[in-house]
Amino acid sequence: MSNAQEPQDFEFDPLQSTTVTLSPAAVDWAVRMGQLETTVAYQWPSFLRAMALRGFQAWVEAGALDVAVYYDTEQTPPAGITCRVGDFRLCLIAQGNLSDEVVRIPRGTLDDPDNFAHLYVLVDVQEEEDRVTILSGLRRDLVLADHPTAERSLNADDTYTVPVQLFNTPPEQLRLYLNCLNPARLTARVNADAESLLPTVASTALLSNVGGELINVGRWLRDQIGEVADRLAWTLLPPLAQREAAMAFRSPVEEIEEILMEMPPTVTVPPHARGAYTDCQSWGLPFRLYALTWTVFETDVPEWSLLLCLGPSGGNQLPPGIQLKIRDRTSVLVEQTLAPNSESTYLYGQVVGTWDEQFVATIELPNGTVLNWPPFGFQPDA
């Protein structure tokens, strides 16, 4: 396996971020891969898979944080496992469009216990225009849940037929999986309940490794973002007293100010509070998570407060059904869900704890995908 990335190998369609126009060199490689097939009937399908592979590679590597697509550049892309991205095995299916009612997937990619595909990706290859469009994806575990072995019939060409409607994972969600999700979550047993396969806070951290890491909000009070928060793309906000000067710029600073003004009177943020935000648009998710913290000295034991606000970004809206949860080591302390037709534009939650307490924030999307970060802790002297 090798990673192949040619300079100037593609350009993006400005009107559709999932469409890639391949360079002449990339098309020539696809032609050569097709010609490697000794059986004439296999040459055209092999050429289309090679086109799909180069387009998929360009799309993934242009939008990922640190992800590469691996495959053998000297061998014709197989009909089974086409490539690998990290620990993910992918089967790319060159399909004309989503108007086809069924899709054929190779039997081995579903049944082989040692070399199955974690994800299937439908790709539209417009060979006359040298264009490739990433259409949608499908998780293997959901195929197994929806079509158990007893309900699947094998075609003469050693493939299974599945309805195209199952390919309902949008490209931006695929990118999120490849960037963040542990593929072990997609290795479910045939008789598993699909609902139980969804990532959970206890078992999966989509955006980080939880092994001992901590987002130390105590450092924010010293005007420092901290190593873990910085690596996870959190941006420190200016002090509350300085926000009015920054309001001229339409930015996250103004957005969090608007959210705070809409908060109920029971939520009071003191002037000495400090905060930060992280933008999830890199994963194709149009929202921001804000975190504000401050010290509380109203009791004999010093405490700290954490206020989390989940709001949209870029003029978008939060999808109905999205959830924000905050939990400590033993239980869920806050759980908010955006109801359909709700007039609210954000979700929020506030918790208070002693300086040795930590809290985990979780966002659950309507499709069941869960995002959680390392615990938030308060260690101002660390």
Rounded alpha-carbon distances, angstroms, from residue 278 to 62, 263, 294, 298, 309: 20, 20, 18, 30, 11
Backbone angle region of 368, left / alpha / beta, with phi > 0 → left and psi within -120 to 50 → alpha: left
- Residue 283, pLDDT > 80, answer no
Predicted pLDDT of residue 8: 35
- Higher pLDDT among residues 137 and 366, named by residue: 137
100, 123 Cβ separation under 8 angstroms: no
Q: What average pLDDT does range 273-296 have in this prediction?
A: 85
- Alpha-carbon radius of gyration of the chain: 24
Strand partners, 85: 69, 88
Residues sharing a CB contact under 8 Å with residue 55, sequence separation 6 or more, in sequence order? 10, 20, 22, 123, 125, 131, 132, 133, 134
pLDDT tens, position by position, 54-110: 999 999 888 655 678 999 999 999 999 999 998 899 999 997 655 678 899 999 999
Q: Is 218 helix (H, G, I), strand (E, B) or coil?
A: helix
Dihedral sign of CA atoms 240, 252, 362, 260 in order:
positive
pLDDT tens, position by position, 350-366: 999 999 999 999 998 88
- Higher pLDDT among residues 47 and 186, named by residue: 47
160, 154 Cβ separation under 8 angstroms: yes
105, 78 Cβ separation under 8 angstroms: no
- Confidence band, pLDDT 50/70/90 cuts, at residue 203: very low
Instruction: CATH 3.40.1350 in the chain: give the residue spans.
Output: 19-187
Predicted pLDDT of residue 241: 57
Lowest mean pLDDT, pick from 68-77, 125-134, 315-324: 315-324
Residues sharing a CB contact under 8 Å with residue 79, sequence separation 6 or more, in sequence order? 45, 49, 106
- Confidence band, pLDDT 50/70/90 cuts, at residue 369: confident
Angle formed at CA 375 by CA 370 and CA 378, multiple of 5 degrees = 150
Residues sharing a CB contact under 8 Å with residue 20, sequence separation 6 or more, in sequence order? 10, 11, 12, 13, 55, 58, 59, 131, 132, 133
Predicted pLDDT of residue 281: 66
Predicted pLDDT of residue 266: 77
Residues sharing a CB contact under 8 Å with residue 102, sequence separation 6 or more, in sequence order? 161, 162, 163, 164
Rounded alpha-carbon distances, angstroms, from residue 322 to 170, 200, 207, 224, 373: 17, 15, 17, 31, 17
Q: Which residue, among 26, 62, 61, has the nearest Cα to 47 in the 3D structure?
A: 26
Predicted pLDDT of residue 33: 96
Residues sharing a CB contact under 8 Å with residue 99, sequence separation 6 or more, in sequence order? none
Give the global pTM.
0.54
H or E segment to which residue 25 belongs: helix 24-35
In CATH terms, is domain 19-187 a member of 3.40.50? no
Q: Which residue, among 45, 69, 66, has the nearest Cα to 55 in the 3D structure?
A: 69
235, 216 Cβ separation under 8 angstroms: no
Q: What average pLDDT does range 357-381 have in this prediction?
A: 87
Q: Which residue, among 3, 118, 133, has the nearest Cα to 55 in the 3D structure?
A: 133
Rounded to the nearest 10 degrees, how much is the dihedral formed by the CA atoms of 346, 205, 145, 82? 110
- Residue 335, pLDDT > 50, answer yes
Predicted pLDDT of residue 249: 40
Predicted pLDDT of residue 132: 94
The terminus-to-terminus CA distance of the chain in angstroms comes to: 43
User: What is the CA 222 to chain-centroid distance, rounded?
Assistant: 32
Looking at this protein, which amino acid is placed at residue 356?
A: D
Predicted pLDDT of residue 194: 34
Q: What average pLDDT does range 233-247 have in this prediction?
A: 68
pLDDT tens, position by position, 148-184: 776 778 899 999 999 888 898 888 778 777 866 667 6
Predicted pLDDT of residue 245: 45
- How far apart are alpha carbons 108 and 19 in whole angstroms? 29
Predicted pLDDT of residue 199: 36
